[in-house]
Amino acid sequence: MAGGRNNTIVIRFILLGFSDYPKFKIVLFAVFLGSYFLTVAWNLGLIILIRMDSYLHTPMYFFLSNLSFLDFCYVTSTTPKMLSDFFQKPKSISFLGCTMQYFFFSSLGLTECCLLAAMAYDRYAAICNPLLYNATMSPTLCAQMMVGAYITGLFGSLIQLCALLQLNFCGPNVINHFFCDLPQLLVLSCSETFFLKVMKFVIAVIFGMISVFVIMISYGYIVATILKISSVEGRSKAFNTCTSHLIAVICFFGSGLFVYMHPSTDNSLGHDKMASVFYTVVIPMLNPLIYSLRNKEIKDALKRCKKRAFSHCHS
């Protein structure tokens, strides 16, 4: 054994999770369990509302329902395992399970990058070319953009998975995280990881930076168009349609780029864990609220839903 490593091939990993805080185990479990139930309820509820209300059958809400579906899958890829690990000793996961968890988590995250860019383009089309909006954002184009986002996300994650499966893990096998994420796995590998680190950086640039670039260009045109609107009420209404999306973009890309764009070291893993809590647990829970609280159309759809339920009960 040299440098804390030996020649044993690792077939299971130990996830430390939040074992650094044993006194707060019950509190943390309750908080994460509650946030998971809220995330599932809010996201699935938003999907059902959009499907049920014909007034919401527009490109904007088509993309929003897909965002809710992605957030539901995103949080489900990590949180149930993390919750069960609070009461498991040891908190282990097989090598195959670990790589598959990262594959699904990564593909969903990359797909969300593409989807947020598509949503920015949708807002550009709605505000900058309102008379041509329905023709521009046709159902066919929306479906193609959505399918393209899923395929691109899967492909980007598959490339990383293939490279990850080529690595050797000889020990130690302790992951200082609550799920299997690439930066933590690279630190543990006894193989040369330079190529995969470069690939991780390149994919972060391709998906993160290009998506952010598309979003910035779209909002550049949007801001220029809003400034040309003469009435204060008109400018306010146009800006309000973009506020929710901007907040979601800043939260998602800010925390994601923090984790995946800087070099992984033993000292940085603790900070990565805290940032990961934000974009794997908090953001999927908040997104439905961000898009609903300031959205008059969602509120009106809820009122119509309540009226239908009330009239159905009385009939």
What confidence tens digit (pLDDT) does each residue in 285-294 have?
989 988 887 7
- Identify the burial level of 298 via C-beta atoms within 10 angstroms of its C-beta, where 0-12 means exposed, 13-18 middle and 19 or more buried: buried
pLDDT at 112: 94
The phi, psi pair for 2, rounded to 5°, reads: -140, 135
Going from N- to C-terminal start, the domains of the chain cover 12-314
Helix then strand then coil, % of the chain, to nearest 5: 75, 5, 20
Model pLDDT, residue 6: 46
**0.95 cut: is pTM over it?**
no
pLDDT per residue as tens digits for the range 245-278: 888 888 888 877 776 666 655 555 556 677 788 8
In this prediction, residue 262 carries a pLDDT of 60
pLDDT at 32: 94
Within 10 Å of residue 278's Cβ, how many Cβ atoms? 17
CB 248 within 8 A of CB 287: yes
Residue type, 127: I
Euclidean distance between CA atoms 233 and 50, whole angstroms: 27
- CATH architecture classification, 12-314: Up-down Bundle (1.20)
Regions in the chain scoring below 70 on pLDDT: 1-8, 259-272, 309-315
Contact partners, residue 206, CB within 8 Å, separation at least 6:
156
Return the pLDDT at 45. 93
Core vs surface per residue 156-174: b (16+ CB within 10 A) or e: bbeebbeebeebebbeebe
